[in-house]
């Protein structure tokens, strides 16, 4: 049996909200992790799988980039996060669509990668 040396503990990365680990600002972030930049393949896959979109209404937006949305049909409540707070384009009461499989939130012509909270 081999002897394992203990590993050094890692320092947590800073960030104002979940998923921002190591990001300084939304405008300079180049990450394609969920909730950051929308990857071209993510957008393409969401576009081609139309049956996975959920129609919803924005119930609430907070200052940390979280949005609470409520589905039209099932009334299910989901909370999603985006790095730059959805660029200030979402408003409570507005209709949106959430792609349940690929984590894309659509509001009009805007598309955002989202992380589920």
Q: What CATH code is carried by the domain that includes residue 59? A: 2.40.50
Q: Could you tell me which residue, 113 or 11, shows the higher pLDDT?
A: 113
* Res 56: pLDDT: 97
Residue 19 counted as domain residue: no
> What is the Cα–Cα distance from 92 to 68, expressed in whole angstroms?
9
> What is the Cα–Cα distance from 117 to 67, expressed in whole angstroms?
9
Residue 44 counted as domain residue: yes
Rank 16-20, 71-75, 98-102 by mean pLDDT and report only the highest.
98-102
Q: Whole-number mean pLDDT of the chain?
A: 80
- What's the structural domain count of the chain? 1
Residue 56 CB: number of other CB atoms within 10 A?
25
Residue 94 counted as domain residue: yes
Residue 74 counted as domain residue: yes
Model pTM greater than 0.85? Answer: no
pLDDT band, residue 15 (cuts 50/70/90) = very low
Q: Which residues lie across from 105 on neighbouring strands?
A: 98, 112
Residue 110 counted as domain residue: yes
Residue 15 counted as domain residue: no
Q: Could you tell me which residue, 24 or 115, shows the higher pLDDT?
A: 115
Residue 61 counted as domain residue: yes
Tell me which residue range forms the domain holding 68.
32-116
pLDDT at 16 over 60: no
If 0-12 CB within 10 Å is exposed, 13-18 middle and 19+ buried, where does residue 83 land?
buried
Residue 7 counted as domain residue: no
Q: Could you tell me which residue, 25 or 55, shows the higher pLDDT?
A: 55
């Amino acid at each position: 049996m081999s002897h394992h040396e203990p590993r050094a503990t890692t320092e947590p990365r800073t960030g104002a909200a979940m998923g921002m680990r190591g990001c300084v600002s939304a405008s300079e972030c180049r990450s394609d992790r969920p909730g950051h930049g929308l990857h071209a393949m993510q957008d393409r896959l969401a576009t081609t799988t139309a049956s996975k979109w959920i129609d919803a209404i924005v119930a609430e937006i907070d200052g940390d980039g979280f949005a609470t949305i409520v589905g039209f049909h099932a009334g299910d409540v989901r909370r999603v996060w985006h790095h730059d707070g959805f660029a200030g384009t979402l408003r409570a009461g507005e209709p949106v669509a959430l792609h349940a499989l690929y984590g894309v939130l659509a509001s009009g012509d805007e598309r955002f990668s989202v992380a589920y909270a």
